[in-house]
Amino acid sequence: MSILSDYSLTAGDVARICGVTPDTPAKWRRDGIGPAPVRRGGRKWLYREDETLEFAAKRMAFEQARAALQSPAKVTVKTNAPLRQRLSYGIVTATVEGRVTFQDARVLAKSLGYPSLHALDAHGVAAVISGLDRLGRQRAQERKPKPQSNPKRKARVSAKAGSAAQ
C-alpha cells in the first residue's frame, strides 16, 4: 500500500468540504496553511481526508467563535450549540474535579447580571468558566492542610539565629 493511497481528495473536494471557493486551497497551499497536499502527476494536488476534515472542523469552530464575539448580544448559550458545549465542558470539568457545583455556576451567572445560564453570551461563558476556576482554586486552598509547626525545629532555628547574632 503506497503512501499516496491515503491522499484521495482533490483541491475541489477540499474547497467543498471547507465551504470556500475552488481557488482557496491553492492560496492555503502557497501560504502554508490548511491540510498538507502532495503533488501527483504533473499538476494535480491531493489531500488526505482525515487532515482535511480536522482542518475544516477547526476552521468552523474558529468562524463560530469569531461570529459570537462580533455579536455577543445575539448569540447565546440557548441558540448556539458550540457555546453551550463550551459552557457544559467547563462546568462538568470543574464539577468532576470536585471543586464546584452546578449551583455555583448559576450563582456566578446571576452575579454577572445574566438571568440564567441559558442567557449567557460568549463573554458570559468565558467569565463563568474563569470564575469557576478561580472559585475552585480558592476552595482547594481552603481544603489544603496547614503545615504543622514543629516546636523542636523552632527551638533549633532560634538557637542558631541567636548564636549567629553573637
pLDDT cut 70: percent of the chain above it? 73
Per-residue CA distances from 50 to 7, 36, 55, 57 (Å): 9, 11, 9, 11
Rounded-to-integer distance, Cα 87 and Cα 106, Å: 12
> How many domains are there within the chain?
2
State yes or no: pLDDT of 2 exceeds 80: no
**Considering the chain, what is the average pLDDT of its residues?**
76
Q: Are residues 40 and 84 in the same domain?
A: no
CATH code of the domain in which 51 resides: 1.10.1660.10
43 assigned to some structural domain? yes
Q: Do 76 and 128 reside in the same domain of the chain?
A: yes
* In a shared domain, residues 77 and 139: yes
The pLDDT assigned to 27 comes to 93
Q: Are residues 48 and 76 in the same domain?
A: no
Whether 163 is in a domain gets the answer: no
> Would you say 47 and 13 are in contact if contact means Cβ atoms under 8 Å apart?
yes
User: Strand 7-10 relative to strand 44-48: parallel, antiparallel, unpaired?
Assistant: antiparallel
Task: Summarize the confidence of residues 18-26 as an average pLDDT.
Answer: 89
Residue 79 and residue 127 share a domain: yes
User: Taking CA 20 as the corner, what is the angle to CA 35 and CA 87, rounded to the nearest 5 degrees?
Assistant: 75
The answer to whether the predicted template modeling score (pTM) of the entire model surpasses 0.85 is: no
The β-bridge partners of 9 are 47
Q: Indicate whether 102 and 40 sit together in one domain.
A: no
* Residue 14 pLDDT > 50: yes
Provide the pLDDT for residue 74.
57
Final residue of a domain: which of 15, 34, 59? 59
Q: What is the pLDDT of residue 155?
A: 64
With a CB cutoff of 8 Å and minimum separation 6, the contacts of 108 are 127, 128, 131, 132, 135
Q: Are residues 34 and 88 in the same domain?
A: no
CA distance 82 to 78: 10
DSSP H helical segments within the chain, as ranges? 11-18, 24-31, 49-70, 81-96, 102-111, 122-143, 151-165
Residue from 99, 134, 127 nearest 113 by CA: 127
Same domain, 139 and 75: yes
For cell 477547526, name the residue.
58
Same domain, 51 and 93: no
64 assigned to some structural domain: no
Are residue 76 and residue 45 in the same domain, yes or no? no
The domain of 46 spans 3-59
Q: Find residue 110's DSSP bridge partners.
A: none
Span 97-156, pLDDT tens digits: 666 777 888 888 888 788 877 777 777 777 887 887 788 778 777 776 666 666 666 666
pLDDT tens readout for residues 57-75:
888 877 777 766 666 555 6
